[in-house]
Structure 1
Amino acid sequence: MRRTIKIFAIAGLATLATSQGATQTADDAMANTAAQLDLPSTFTVFGERDPNIRKPTAIVNGEIVTRTDVDHRLNLFLAANSAAQISDEERQRLRMQIVRNLIDETLQIQEARANDIQIPSADVDATFAQVAQRSNASPDQFSDFLRTQGSSARSMKRQIQGELAWRRLLRRYVNPTVGVSDAEVQAIVERLEASRGQTEYRVAEIYLPARPDNEAEMLDGARRILEQIQSGGSFQAYARQFSQASTAAVGGDLGWLQPAQLPPELAAVVTQMPVGGVSQPIPIPGGFSIIALIDQRQILVGNPRDAVLSLTQITLTFPPGTTRAVAEPQIEALSSATQAGGGCGVANTIAVDLGGEIVQNDGVRLGDLPEVLQRNIGNLQVGEATAPFGSLTDGVRVLVLCGRDDPPASAEPDADVIMARLEQERADRRARRYLRDLRRDAVIEYR
């Protein structure tokens, strides 16, 4: 059977971001913000050199960030975001952003170390193993895969170390200082009750500021970002890199909003977008925004996409080079067997008879499935199956619905959830200020 390894982001891993609330902010999200940061005009040199020679790109409080470090992290990002085919200009912008991320990561590890927070190698290895497992590989297989992509296990483990160190530092010194009053929570509860039944949207944004003298340049940059996203790049990862809104730290996520809470230019687009859609660059006062509609729902009314499904998946795999004509009889047999009834009770027998593989999952949220499967499975009764889908290279699949737990028809505001969200938002803001202070006090040399 053909093995495919992909990198899946876990808690911000395998992206250009660090831990939530501690990622790139407005003063360093775009490559051309070097001037705002008062960086040297020759921020770093990416000339043609021997890649086997480890030469420093930056020295952060005496600790070296090498060109090899940058190369490995760049290739890790490209592998994780399916963005291997990018222009030289885009690659250069990504490199500069990665240098900034590595500087921040170094500062975070140094600050944790200064406060006697050490990350045992066993913790790093355990998290690395989790990333490998999500990518359907063992740690050794995943390490080999990273090498084939021009990266390394060392690079990912360094990122893991930085994230764990920063998270534990914030948990010790920042999170305990955040307070939310019961009155604040109650005010939000009352606003939600007053808006019951109205439609709200979960929106993510990439915001690029523009002035009259650089408007055309910024619009061109927004279009290039959109092209990368449409080619398979992660909206969240590009928001963390380039958005100059405060939400860059959380991948551009604005949370759940009503149209009246958005600028009119954005509200007019959001209400016309399909779930999962990404807009063209939208001119707004002060710049341009690219928005993604993550989901929509009615306030305090059960969201059908919150239904939790129990699914059995049957997969048929084919040897490389198998033609459609050769595979068609087996696919038709799978369709006939699963549509004949019997539900999940006969799924294992069908898989054995057809030489397929079977996987069961009892906790799948309907809204987490691809849009086309949401529409298909949303209309199924328990025991029914989807039509076969997939490809001859990646396998042809059928999903059998074994059970479904629908959300309640209406819901009440959860004060504990509201308080936790407010606390997290305030902790994120303080974490960003903390990181800005570390940057301001750091001694950084560029080579």
Structure 2
Amino acid sequence: MLACATFSMVASGMVASGASAQTVPDEDGQLVLPKDMQIFGKSDPNIRKATAIVNGRIITGTDVDQRLALILAANGGKVADDEKERLRVQVLRNLIDETLQIQEAAANDIKVDPAEVEQSFERVAGNFRQSPTQFEQYLRTQGSAPASIKRQIEGELAWSRLLRRNVQPFVNVGEEEVKSVVDRLNAAKGSDEFKIGEIYLSATPENQQQIIANAKNIIEQIKGGGSFAAYARQFSEASTAAVGGDLGWVRPAQLPDELAAAATDMQVGQIAGPIPVPGGMSIIYVMDKRKVLTADPRDALLSLKQLSIAFPAGTTKEQASARAASFAASTKAIKGCGEANELGAKMGADVVDNDNVKVRDLPPQLQEMLLGLQIGESTPPFGSITDGVRVLILCGRDEASSANAPNYEQIQAQMEEERVNKRARIYLRDLRRDAVIDYN
């Protein structure tokens, strides 16, 4: 573990000054440190060269650079130099954990077939709407390499299988526990539940301030346009890192008290943290929100007509505003979708039919407007000089069906996953403590 190794290097260079016999135990009484101390030598991990040997396996500076390039690409390259150095230290720590996971899996005779890694790589490329060859070229243009992502995929597959063999069989969820959850779920009908993303960073009393600083930097990058899922995949130490930190739909009662208190006061799209939790710090992101066992109006399917006008090249802001005002006045008088085609022809507007549009798939601003419309009413005009101006007319609405409660198997699986995740954190913590790590 990077932090532990760093602390060891610092501790080895400490010499008590003055009354060297005076010592101060930590809050847990586990460490006894000099009350006054002087540190000799350079021990800042931000200054040290970012390479390490983990139980004999070398992590090179190139490994760190290529993995860091993935994060920079997720942020469009808009990362300050000082932030890059902080990210570099965190990336090294992640690579150390990844190496420990692969080594532990190998020690338990768990091997990942290269063909499986290639299949997963193809799926990742598909998410970017590229072929594997195109995606490899893209990675190289970003300063990364296919081997870097494939190594991460190997680590995720190996760790997942190790947990299924060494942890999951010993996690039991009783029938009464599941029934209790079902009862609480029914009692909570109509209350809020959230689709939460989490980035969990383990921390010790010695490195807590460093982890808090790292978490704050991650939050700033995400608020600046970075991908939450990308940061969760690279930095989160929870088992949900492989799915971008997605915890799925949860009620506050299912979360640790600290996270529940934060989520309850958050709106969709907000991010909060760092939040102290047992064993470390968490960053949470509210991806969506709904009512328990209640039909969500945003799941309704809409039939819409869209009227749009475009502005010729060279249109000034004043000209666009005048045209948009005229368009708004005309569309405001629309009485139902039956008039849309005729009115569109008079105004020189394009008319497009859109059926089976789910409300939740639309931008948040449009969701609110459309949910408040009656059949035949239209939205206010929206758009820009570049994209033109348009209105949407509501032609029909198929209301969402009543939400169904998760079944016994789904609840049991979620509870098992939570317990496996907790034990996985302890497992990785022990691997770090037993590791032999040399920094160059």
Per-residue Cα deviation, 1:295-335 (whole angstroms, up to 9, x for no partner): 33222212233457899999999xxxx7667xx9xxx9xx9
Alignment pair present for 1:141 and 2:109: no
- Alpha-carbon distance change, 383 to 140 in structure 1, aligned in 2, over 3 angstroms: farther
Q: Could you tell me which amino acid in structure 1 is paired with residue 142 of structure 2? A: Q
- Which residue of 2 is the match for residue 78 of structure 1? 72
* Cα deviations by residue, 1:73-104 (Å, 9 ceiling, x for unpaired): 00111212x25222222211111111111112
Q: Closer, same or farther in 2 for the Cα pair 1:79/1:186, shift >3 Å? A: same
> Does residue 93 of structure 2 align to residue 96 of structure 1?
no
1:3-402 paired onto structure 2 within 5 Å: 35=6, 41=43, 43=45, 57-80=51-74, 82=75, 84-114=77-107, 115-121=109-115, 123-203=116-196, 224-236=217-229, 238=231, 251=245, 253=247, 256-258=250-252, 267=261, 273-279=266-272, 291-307=284-300, 366-367=359-360, 369-375=362-368, 378=371
Shift of 1:428: 1.3
Cα 1:228–1:37 change in 2 (3 A) is: farther
Q: CA deviation at 1:242?
A: 7.0
Return the letter of the residue paired with 1:157.
K
Structure 2 regions of 5+ residues with no counterpart? 13-42, 342-348
Distance 1:445 1:222, change over 3 A: closer
Q: Note the C-alpha offset of 1:253.
A: 5.0
| 1:431 Cα offset (Å) | 2.1
Partner of 2:158, secondary structure, is helix
Partners of 2:160 and 2:277 in 1: CA distance: 35
User: 3-state SS of the aligned residue for 2:287?
Assistant: strand
Name which one, 1 or 2, has greater alpha-carbon Rg.
Answer: 2
Could you say which residue in structure 2 is the equivalent of 1:411?
A: 404
2:431 paired with 1:438: yes
Q: Distance in 1 between matches of 2:206 and 2:433?
A: 29
Q: CA RMSD in A?
A: 5.4
CA distance, structure 1, for counterparts of residue 127 and residue 362 of structure 2: 17
Task: Give the structure 1 partner of residue 414 of structure 2.
Answer: 421
Is 257-266 or 128-137 further displaced after alignment? 257-266
Deviation of 1:155 after TM superposition, in Å, equals: 1.2
Q: 1:399 to 1:90 in 2, by over 3 A?
A: farther
SS at match of 1:409: coil
Instruction: Work out the percentage of aligned pairs sharing the same amino acid.
Output: 49
**Distance (whole Å) between structure 1 residues aligned to residue 124 and residue 388 of structure 2:** 23
Output the amino acid matched with 1:69: D
Distance 2:303 2:105 in 1: 42
The 1-side partners of 2:388 and 2:130 are apart by 18
Structure ranking higher on relative contact order (CA contacts 8 Å, 6+ apart): 1
* Structure 1 pair 443–291 and aligned structure 2 pair: CA distance change class (3 A): closer
Aligned length: 393
For the Cα contact (< 8 Å) 1:58–1:445, is it kept in 2? yes
The more displaced of 221-230 and 412-421 is 221-230
CA distance in 2, matches of 1:178, 1:284: 22
- How far off its partner does 1:383 sit? 12
1:126 is aligned with what amino acid? Answer: Q
Look up the equivalent residue of 2:66 and give its one-letter code: H
Counterpart residue identity of residue 402, structure 2? A
258-267 or 131-140, larger mean C-alpha shift: 258-267
Structure 2: how far apart are the matches of 1:296 and 1:310?
24
Name the CA shift for 1:127/1:290 in 2 (closer, same or farther; >3 Å): closer
Q: 1:287 to 1:133 in 2, by over 3 A?
A: closer
d(CA) in 2 for partners of 1:415, 1:188 = 9
1:393-443: CA deviations, max 9, x gaps? 999999999998754335335222211100111121222222223223322
Q: How far is 1:257 from its partner? A: 3.2
Alpha-carbon distance in structure 2 between the residues aligned to 1:221 and 1:100: 12
Amino acid at match of 1:166: W
Amino acid at match of 1:302: A
- 1-side partners of 2:439 and 2:127: how far apart? 37
**Kept after mapping to 2: 8 A contact 1:240/1:252:** no
Q: What TM-score does the superposition give when structure 2 sets the normalisation length? A: 0.65
CA distance in 2, matches of 1:153, 1:119: 17
Task: Return the letter of the residue paired with 1:419.
Answer: Q
Paired letter, 1:431:
A
Deviation at 1:133, TM superposition (A): 1.6
Report the CA distance shift for 1:178/1:79 in structure 2 as closer, same or farther (over 3 A): same
The alpha-carbon distance between structure 1 residues 270 and 37, as it changes in their structure 2 partners (threshold 3 A), is: farther
C-alpha contact (below 8 Å) 1:200/1:257 kept by paired residues: yes
Question: How far, CA to CA, are the matches of 1:395 and 1:444 in structure 2?
Answer: 59
> Which shows bigger deviation, 101-110 or 65-74?
101-110
- CA shift for structure 1 position 59: 1.2
